[in-house]
Amino acid sequence: MFKKNNIKVSFEFFPPKNENLEAGLWNCVQSLKDLNPDFVSVTYGAGGSTRKRTHSIVSKLYKDHKLPTAAHLTCIGASEKDISEIAETYWQNGIKHIVALRGDLPDGHDHKSDQYAYAADLVTALKNIADFEISVAGYPEKHPECQSIEQDIENLKRKVDCGADRIITQFFMNPEDFLLWRDRVVSAGIDVPIVPGILPLNHYGRAVSFAKRCGTKIPLWLKDLYQGLDSTPTMRDRVSVSVAYEQCRILQENGVDQFHFYTLNRPELVKTVCHLLGIR
């Protein structure tokens, strides 16, 4: 049985593509805020495409909802000057936790000379601006652009050596993949907290599409579990909760006491998993 006091959770929200969808976001926030998250974060769209909306949401989460809020910043989609201005504004407005990412280049676009090339460069710049708390991304199955897991861990260590305070992982489905990778990360001399990213699947097909973009393996047993459930969403949600809870259970048995949930702005699944974890 999980003990509530031993577990910390954080939630990641996604900025809606337009104002008409924004009500769903705030319903999600309202549903999860009473679970006392360690922090909440808000992503960017590809290439920083939702940057302005993200900044607005981050400000509202902190000021109106009184939540400890982390703002995503990516190298892609913003110049070095833009980054400095955005970071300084965040600091002045009380947002002192940044999730520093390189970001994905939109198709057909090249890196620009006035942008930071790597997340490590962004971490260094942010630490020079102010004493931000900085989280960075980790990839238990390696970043899709890296040639090897060793190279990927070297890149991760570079981000930590530049000042990162926490690692939040990309989502994964096999807890064993995370645990093996965590051991290798620790052996490389990385000693900051490593927080697994948990994605309760709300639709198998969309999960497969998302996984291909970020290099996550979807095991065959998962396909079997979701077989025939597209027309029965209630049963599908029950399976999703069971899978996510089992991930957390195995991880907790192996010393993990923090979980970062990718909510997809669907609070029901995440809230149910948290309930099973004893967080209510």
pLDDT at position 202 is 82
pLDDT at position 86 is 93
Residue 52 to residues 79, 132, 162, 187, Cα–Cα distance (Å): 14, 21, 27, 40
Contacts of 68 (CB under 8 A, 6+ apart): 37, 38, 39, 40, 62, 97
User: Closest Cα partner for 279 from 254, 259, 264, 256?
Assistant: 259
Entry pTM: 0.93
Q: What is the mean pLDDT of residues 142-169?
A: 96
- The domains of the chain are located at 4-276
Residue 248: both structure tokens together: 């957390």
Residue 110 to residues 46, 74, 104, 105, Cα–Cα distance (Å): 14, 15, 10, 7
pLDDT at position 94 is 96
Query: Collapsing DSSP states into helix, strand and coil, what is residue 207?
Result: helix
| Fold that domain 4-276 belongs to in CATH | TIM Barrel (3.20.20)
Give the β-pairing of 69-74 and 166-171.
unpaired
pLDDT tens across 226-248, in order?
A: 998 988 999 999 999 999 999 99
Q: What is the mean pLDDT of the chain?
A: 90
The residue ranges of DSSP E strands in 46-106, in sequence order, are 69-74, 97-101
Residue 108: both structure tokens together: 């057909």
- C-alpha to C-alpha distance for 84 and 78, rounded to whole angstroms: 10
With cut-offs at 50, 70 and 90, classify the pLDDT of residue 212.
confident
Which one-letter DSSP state was computed for residue 215?
Answer: T
pLDDT at position 76 is 82
- C-alpha to C-alpha distance for 66 and 71, rounded to whole angstroms: 14
pLDDT at position 1 is 46
pLDDT at position 191 is 96
Q: Which residue numbers are catalytic?
A: 12
- C-alpha to C-alpha distance for 156 and 176, rounded to whole angstroms: 20
- 202, 240 Cβ separation under 8 angstroms: yes
Report the sign of the C-alpha dihedral through residues 209, 212, 215, 216, in that order: positive
Comparing 77-86, 148-157, 204-213, 217-226, the range with the smallest average pLDDT is: 204-213
- 195, 258 Cβ separation under 8 angstroms: yes
pLDDT tens across 11-41, in order?
A: 999 888 777 788 899 999 999 999 999 999 9
